[in-house]
Amino acid sequence: MRYGTPKIASLTRSLQLLEAIVADGGAKTTMDHAGQLGIPHATAHRIVRTLVSDGFLIEISRGRHIAGTHLRDMLGHVSDWQEITAIGRPILKKFAAKLNCVAHLGVLEDGMVTYLVREGSDSGNVFTREGSQLEAYCSALGKILLAHLPPEGLNAYLSSGPFVPLTTATITDASLVREEFERAKVSRIAWDREEIAVGLFCCAAPVVSPGHKICFAVSLSFGRAGYLSLGDVAIAKAAAELAKRVTRAAAERQIELAKSF
């Protein structure tokens, strides 16, 4: 008797074929790979047709394929996210301990904020977890990332409403949301003052990549007592310094990688 969840044979075959094609770089035909893997030609044809249709593969000549744009983009995101997570985590951990708060590092994904790193003491108000998502329009991380979108991207987001109130403090009018983003872009600081949850205050600042793009941001989250104790000025200064340190660490990492080649 076998124990555990059984594997899905068709998925295994698909992944094996995808791996072989990508590793080969289009030198061999799909049917060559299918033969070596013991996959029937008809099955291999259906698998590859689906992978091409979904953007995971591109046909470069009859029967030969390479990694498609969807797959390359996905792998690129995984690499970027893993690297910034590794770089940022120890820095966020120190800030969270020093300020007795929760520090986050996040990214904008499909109009939502994805939390990549969460460090700091647990609080009943800070309910986030790594890998979770929250609405962007009412979170400090979301506001600072949306503020730095190209105009067409920002306009598309603002027209995608309605913006649902999560608390009585949530800003839901599209014109006022836009004003929030404009202030955040100018000041390079964004606030969420009880917009997501009562008693939760967050301040975010952008992380600038070596290519001068803003794809990630950091935030500091406090309960009411911590927020009132430190105040807006001190918290904003701390968030900006945290973003600066993560930005600098990422740039230093790029220099190290360049030297290794």
CATH of the domain at 229: 3.30.450.40
CA distance 214 to 80: 13
Please tell me the predicted confidence (pLDDT) of residue 219. Answer: 96
Please tell me the predicted confidence (pLDDT) of residue 3. Answer: 45
Is 245 domain-assigned? yes
Residues 134, 252 within the same domain: yes
Q: Domain residues for 37?
A: 9-67
Q: When comparing pLDDT for 198 and 4, which is higher?
A: 198
Is 4 domain-assigned? no
Whether 65 and 21 have beta carbons less than 8 Å apart is answered as yes
Residues 155, 188 within the same domain: yes
- Kindly report which listed range (114-118, 130-134, 142-146) carries the lowest average pLDDT score: 130-134
CA distance 218 to 116: 10
Residues 36, 113 within the same domain: no
Query: How does residue 131 score in pLDDT terms, banded at 50, 70 and 90?
Result: confident
Whether 219 and 191 have beta carbons less than 8 Å apart is answered as no
Q: How many domains does the chain have?
A: 2
Report the amino acid identity of residue 206: P
Is 214 domain-assigned? yes
Is 51 domain-assigned? yes
Is 1 domain-assigned? no
Q: Which residues, at least 6 apart from 136, have a Cβ–Cβ distance to it below 8 Å?
A: 108, 111, 112, 113, 142, 143, 145, 146, 157
Residues 120, 229 within the same domain: yes
CA distance 242 to 220: 9
Q: Of the residues 67, 82, 103, which one is the last residue of a structural domain?
A: 67
Query: How does residue 7 score in pLDDT terms, banded at 50, 70 and 90?
Result: low
Residues 45, 131 within the same domain: no
Residues 43, 88 within the same domain: no
Is 110 domain-assigned? yes
Distances, alpha carbon 233 to alpha carbons 35, 56, 162, 203, in Å: 66, 47, 32, 11
Is 54 domain-assigned? yes
- 253 phi, psi to nearest 5 deg: -65, -40
Is 232 domain-assigned? yes
Residues 166, 222 within the same domain: yes
